[in-house]
Amino acid sequence: MNDLSRTFDEVVSIIETARSNAFRKVNEELILMYMNVGRFLSEKSKDASYGDGYVSALADYIQQKYPGIKGFTRRGLYRMKQFYELYADNEKVSTLLTQLSWSNHLLIMSGAKTDEEREFYMRLSIKERYSYRELERQIQSAYYERYMLSRQKLLPEKLPAAANPFLDSYVIDFLDLPEKYHETEFRKALVKAMRNFILEMGKDFTFVGEEYVIQVGGEDYRIDLLFFHRVLRCLVAIELKLGKFMPEYVSKMDFYLEGLDRQIKKPDENPSVGLLLCASKNDEVVEYAMSRTLSPMMVAEYQLHLPDKDVLRKKLQEFVNLPSGTEDYTNEDQI
């Protein structure tokens, strides 16, 4: 029976692969169709003989020709025109367009303000395989602005910008916490909402356990949350702090990382990484505290409410306008 089950699974695998390929092909054709319709409308809009009523008349005609067809309303047609005009001359995203669903494209067009931001969300959506709701949440939480601002901060030498998966600030707006709570309640709420937490952290993080025990000198020491990062190929220890960052947190994290590397890390894995997640931090204090540590470690803030995107955009613009050298942070390898 086991042999039969294996053969059944092989057939199911063939079916699933074919279905997945068919879905991608259908989506590719849909996106190309929307692009071609958008190009047609864009070109016609330059002809003075086609008035404002042309698009409405076209929408009515399509509905008569194909009753019940979705997306070809007046508004939908104008979106296709906008879609074409946004990306027609952008060679950097030409290979990305057909890899996203139309609904995700609409989210990016309505939520992103610049070519760089749109490209960022395209690459991120493809890499993380975001659903509509997941992408919507990331745009609403100003993930682009937070990511870009994080790249302006000093990073540990062992975690260069191109490989560093951490942000300088995290938005944890999905917890059902009382007005006053302790670190234990905070940790348990994160574990309960682990799916949302991993969406915020990044889908390459795999949860290992909470209050993960390492034993040193006959005593148990507990790491708040332990993850494994599939790209970095290392364990990631996360310590949660309700207050502001304190310098002594660094030595404690050093101790945890040493314990993980000696006892838990496998020979083919990279040295463990630490993340101190605090309610607030002073960057100068963090820099002083970490200046002599050899461990790859990050200190980040968390917010329990969605940030003000306009404030973050203004802050990012300040960095962009600095006279120092700039980097292309929308590079595919950096997302």
Q: Rounded to whole angstroms, how far apart are CA atoms 128 and 106?
A: 18
| Lookup: tokens for 305 | 């409410």
Angle at Cα 235 formed by Cα 204 and Cα 160, nearest 5°?
A: 70
* Sheet of 169-171, strand order: 169-171, 297-303, 273-280, 234-244, 219-229, 205-216
Distance CA(42)–CA(82), nearest Å, equals: 8
| Domain map (residue ranges) of the chain | 2-140, 154-307
pLDDT tens-digit series, residues 96-148: 999 999 999 999 999 999 999 999 999 999 999 999 999 999 999 999 999 98
For residue 60, the surrounding DSSP H or E stretch is helix 54-65
Joined together, the tokens standing for residue 98 give 């057909």
What's residue 156's pLDDT? 52
Whether 136 and 107 have beta carbons less than 8 Å apart is answered as yes
DSSP 95-139: TTGGGS-HHHHHHHHHH--SHHHHHHHHHHHHHHT--HHHHHHHH
Three-state SS for 89-103 is: CCHHHCCCHHHCCHH
What's the pLDDT tens digit per position in 197-223?
999 999 999 999 999 999 999 999 999
Top pLDDT among 50 and 332 is at 50
**Tokens 């050899």 correspond to what residue?**
294
Q: Which amino acid is at 269?
A: E
- Cβ(93)–Cβ(120) under 8 Å? no
Per DSSP, the residues of 72-84 read -SHHHHHHHHHHH
Q: Is the pLDDT of residue 325 over 80?
A: no
pTM of the model: 0.83
Closest CA relative to residue 318, chosen from 142, 155, 148, 141? 148
Q: 119, 87 in Cβ contact below 8 A?
A: no
- Whether the per-residue pLDDT at 149 is higher than 90: the answer is no
pLDDT digits (tens, 9 = 90+) for 150-182: 876 644 555 544 457 899 999 999 998 988 999
Tell me the three state secondary structure of residue 220.
strand
Residue 140 pLDDT: 94
- Please say if the pLDDT value at position 318 is more than 80: no
| Longest CA pairwise span in the chain (Å) | 86
Mean pLDDT of the chain, nearest integer: 88
H or E element in which residue 303 lies: strand 297-303
* CATH architecture of residue range(s) 154-307: 3-Layer(aba) Sandwich (3.40)
Beta bridge partners of 244: 280
